[in-house]
Structure 1
Amino acid sequence: MAAGTRDVIPAGHEVRQCDGALSRAFQFLGKRWNAMLVSVLGSGPAGFAELKRVLGISDSMLSDRLSELAGAGLVVRRVEEGPPVAVTYELSESGQALLPALREIGDWARDNLEG
């Protein structure tokens, strides 16, 4: 469309919009590793080394993603005084609430995506 022209919506047509909440959800969950971390932690608390092993992710990326998930209120970081000091990560109530949707997406992928 040329500069300065406006889109005209034909009579009887609806203006389509993306759901803002869904858009925010996928901006967050679409980041590599975020949804996978939530899914893995859905099986229960885990330490850094276990998460790294299960996902095959670098230390720095895992640290960044865990910080992001904790900042969003989906993951809780727990420190158990030692010796030795132990740090575990687990889903918050908000993170747990996301699990049914992730399971549904996984089911859809198994049924509809090759590979």
Structure 2
Amino acid sequence: MADPGESECTRVDVGITRVFGLLGKRWTGPIISVLMAQPVHFADLRRAIPGISERMLSDRLTELVAADLVVREVDEGPPLRVSYRLTAAGAAMEPALKELSLWAETHMNELPRGGC
């Protein structure tokens, strides 16, 4: 017989763990949100996200490409330019991201903000 103080451990959903393992990384959300509107060249994407370094942007884009959420396309030059766009799987996140944005507008104002 189980001790009344013990309860069966509830485990976190595997899907939630996987989603936040990728999307919970710094800068990933802003990158995806910029790409929601249209394909964007690397330099324009960097300008659209203040504070992100080229290296970090490159690393996050590489992860998103590997996760099949973003496609990297080389535009033959001159000049040679690289653009990124969401895959169908990446674009399918739009309703969920819009809901998270609405939630943040409603509830995050009440939470203390870090930084500046």
What is the TM-score of this pair, normalised by structure 1? 0.85
Name the structure 2 match of 1:23.
Answer: 17
Give the deviation of 1:9 after TM superposition. 5.9
Decide whether aligned partners of structure 1 residues 68 and 87 sit closer, same or farther in structure 2, where only a CA change above 3 A counts.
same
Name the structure 2 match of 1:107.
Answer: 102
Name the structure 2 match of 1:3.
Answer: none
**In 1, distance between residues paired with 2:57 and 2:104?**
24
Instruction: Count how many residue pairs are aligned between Structure 1 and Structure 2.
Output: 108
Name the structure 1 match of 2:37.
Answer: 43
Tell me the amino acid that sits aligned with residue 73 of structure 2: R
Decide whether aligned partners of structure 1 residues 113 and 47 sit closer, same or farther in structure 2, where only a CA change above 3 A counts.
same
Structure 1 contact 75–89 (Cα < 8 Å) conserved: yes
Name the structure 2 match of 1:55.
Answer: 49
Query: Larger Rg: 1 or 2?
Result: 1
- Alignment gaps of 5+ in structure 2: none
Q: Residues 78-97 of structure 1 correspond to what in structure 2 (within 5 A)?
A: 78-97=73-92
Secondary structure of 1:26's partner?
Answer: helix
Secondary structure of 1:42's partner?
Answer: helix
Decide whether aligned partners of structure 1 residues 9 and 83 sit closer, same or farther in structure 2, where only a CA change above 3 A counts.
farther
| CA RMSD in angstroms, aligned pairs only | 1.9
What is the TM-score of this pair, normalised by structure 2? 0.84
**In 1, distance between residues paired with 2:9 and 2:82?**
49
Tell me the amino acid that sits aligned with residue 60 of structure 1: R
- Alignment gaps of 5+ in structure 1: 1-7
**In 2, distance between residues paired with 1:26 and 1:45?**
24
Tell me the amino acid that sits aligned with residue 59 of structure 2: D
